[in-house]
């Protein structure tokens, strides 16, 4: 890949965490000029993923401060490079978690660049030119067109934003495990947050029976009436857990905090599959007996490729799948972080970067 050294002359207003307090403050920085493969995007909305909190507070020990979080970005193309034919000025587009990959390895060649060894993320990454990447808590983004997707016209830009990470993260394990277009299966979703509520919507659109396994009894009514879940188990209730013993074909674990997998594995049928997408900072307890006695499989999954992200976005357009959101201003990000930590959000905060909603 040719190394380019674009100038970083574009001044951008954003919001960053400066240290592990995780407190978000206004932050001005520079982005590169629009290169031949780039599109420049006026950011309209950016979702707040729990991953943003993990990075802002250095939960995973890999944060490079200052960090400008945000990888659930929607906006309008305002400039395109000479090599870009996929997008034009005025297009509605989205950017998710990735900003670059090597484009040459087996993963990149088979459209699995999210598993490229050299994948770089939209923030807290190192771009091809050696610069640190800054995310969507900002008014403008320059992105390589190969890491940009189109947003279907019928999807509102605010409710589409979280699909760029939360959506594709729950969509891919369902696709990989043949849950699209398959016979009706019993699907479990652990954790009813940003990822979890979208998992219910996808699983219902694909015709499955969905059981939510949650720590929050208060979420039961809405999970069933508004999101369409068929069953709801409170994980701290041993009777409820026992009564659903060996009832599920597939479980998606979206929990952000540490938890033991044993009790959840018991909910799987023999040969059932358990996919972990939640990313607690500490190793999780994985007892051998529920695995051995049930011939069960545990595996992980990370976001999705750009091809899969576009496929997911188009399916959302077709089925009208979008996020349930609470819109905030950039000045409310710290308050939003506190509420996410208290598990007080249904189900995604989305930052109105361009002040669109106040103009409606
Ligand atoms: P979120 O909105 O905060 O939802 C997490 C949910 O987990 C909560 O709503 C809660 O649901 C449950 N939960 C919280 N604390 C718990 C505990 N101590 N024990 C059991 N359950 C608990 O977070 P999110 O944005 O959906 O992200 C979830 C996780 O996925 C994060 O760790 C994030 O970093 C990770 N993630 C991974 C990928 C990937 O590619 N693999 C992509 C995006 C995000 P209930 O109230 O229903 O229990
Ligand atoms: Zn995310």
Q: Which of 175, 227, 254 to mutate to test the pocket of ligand 1 (most atoms within 8 A of CB)?
A: 254
Atom of ligand 1 nearest to the CA of 348: 2
In the chain, domain spans: 10-165+304-315+322-357, 167-300
CA of 125 to the centre of ligand 1 (A): 22
Atom of ligand 1 nearest to the CA of 256: 32
Confidence band of 6 (pLDDT split at 50, 70, 90)? confident
| 357 pLDDT more than 80 | no
Work out the mean pLDDT of the chain and round it to a whole number: 96
**Mean pLDDT throughout 271-298?**
97
Angle, alpha carbons 214-220-224 (nearest 5°)? 115
| 3 pLDDT more than 60 | no
| Backbone Cα Rg of the chain | 20
CA distances from 344 to 50, 134, 219, 284, 330 (A): 12, 27, 11, 24, 18
Q: Report the pLDDT value the prediction gives residue 356, as an integer from 0 to 100.
A: 79
Q: Report the pLDDT value the prediction gives residue 4, as an integer from 0 to 100.
A: 55
Angle, alpha carbons 184-202-334 (nearest 5°)? 150
Task: Output the pTM of the full model.
Answer: 0.97
Q: What is the pLDDT of residues 50-65, one digit of tens each?
A: 999 999 999 999 999 9
**Mean pLDDT throughout 266-293?**
97
Q: What is the pLDDT of residues 99-156, one digit of tens each?
A: 999 999 999 999 999 999 999 999 999 999 999 999 999 999 999 999 999 999 999 9
CA of 159 to the centre of ligand 2 (A): 15
Q: Among residues of the chain, what percentage have pLDDT more than 90?
A: 97
Ligand 1 cavity residues, CB under 6 Å: 49-51, 54, 165-166, 169, 191-196, 214-216, 219, 254-257, 259, 277-279, 301-303, 340, 343
CA of 91 to the centre of ligand 1 (A): 32
Q: Is the domain covering 167-300 a CATH 3.40.50.720 domain? A: yes
Q: Report the pLDDT value the prediction gives residue 340, as an integer from 0 to 100.
A: 98
Q: Which fold does the domain 10-165+304-315+322-357 belong to in CATH?
A: Quinone Oxidoreductase; Chain A, domain 1 (3.90.180)
Nearest ligand to residue 46 Cα: 2
Question: CA-to-CA distance for 199 and 255, rounded, in angstroms?
Answer: 12
Would you say the CATH fold of 167-300 matches that of 10-165+304-315+322-357? no
Question: CA-to-CA distance for 339 and 320, rounded, in angstroms?
Answer: 28
Residue located nearest, by CA, to atom 44 of ligand 1: 51
**Mean pLDDT throughout 218-246?**
98
């Amino acid at each position: 890949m040719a190394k380019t050294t674009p100038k970083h002359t574009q001044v951008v207003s954003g919001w960053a965490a400066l240290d592990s307090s995780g407190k978000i403050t206004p932050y001005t920085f520079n982005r590169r000029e629009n290169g031949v493969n780039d599109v420049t995007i006026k950011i309209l909305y950016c979702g707040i993923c729990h991953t943003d909190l993990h990075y802002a507070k250095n939960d995973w020990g890999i944060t490079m401060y200052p960090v400008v979080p945000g990888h659930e970005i929607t906006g309008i193309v305002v400039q395109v490079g000479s090599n870009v034919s996929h997008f034009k000025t005025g297009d509605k587009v989205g950017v998710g978690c990735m900003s670059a990959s090597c484009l040459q390895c087996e993963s990149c060649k088979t459209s699995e660049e999210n598993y490229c060894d050299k994948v770089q993320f939209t923030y807290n990454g190192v771009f091809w030119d050696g610069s640190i990447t800054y995310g969507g808590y900002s008014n403008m983004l320059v992105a390589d067109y190969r890491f940009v997707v189109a947003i279907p016209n019928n999807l509102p830009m605010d409710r589409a934003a979280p699909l760029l990470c939360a959506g594709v993260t729950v969509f891919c394990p369902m696709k990989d495990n043949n849950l699209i277009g398959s016979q009706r299966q019993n699907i479990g979703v652990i954790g009813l947050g940003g990822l979890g509520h979208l998992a219910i919507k996808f699983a219902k659109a694909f015709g499955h029976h969905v059981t939510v396994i949650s720590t929050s009894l208060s979420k039961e009514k809405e999970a069933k009436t508004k999101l369409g879940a068929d069953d709801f188990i409170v994980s701290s209730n041993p009777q409820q857990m026992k009564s659903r013993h060996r009832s599920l074909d597939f479980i998606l674990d979206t929990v952000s905090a540490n938890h033991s997998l044993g009790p959840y594995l018991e909910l799987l049928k023999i040969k059932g599959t358990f996919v972990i997408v939640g990313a607690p900072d500490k190793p999780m307890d994985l007892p051998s007996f529920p695995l051995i006695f049930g011939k069960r499989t545990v595996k992980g999954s990370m976001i999705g490729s750009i091809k899969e992200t576009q496929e997911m976005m188009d399916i959302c357009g077709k089925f009208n799948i979008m996020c349930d959101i609470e819109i905030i201003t950039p000045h409310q990000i710290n308050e939003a972080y506190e509420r996410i930590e208290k598990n007080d959000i249904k189900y995604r905060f989305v930052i109105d970067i361009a002040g669109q909603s106040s103009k409606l």
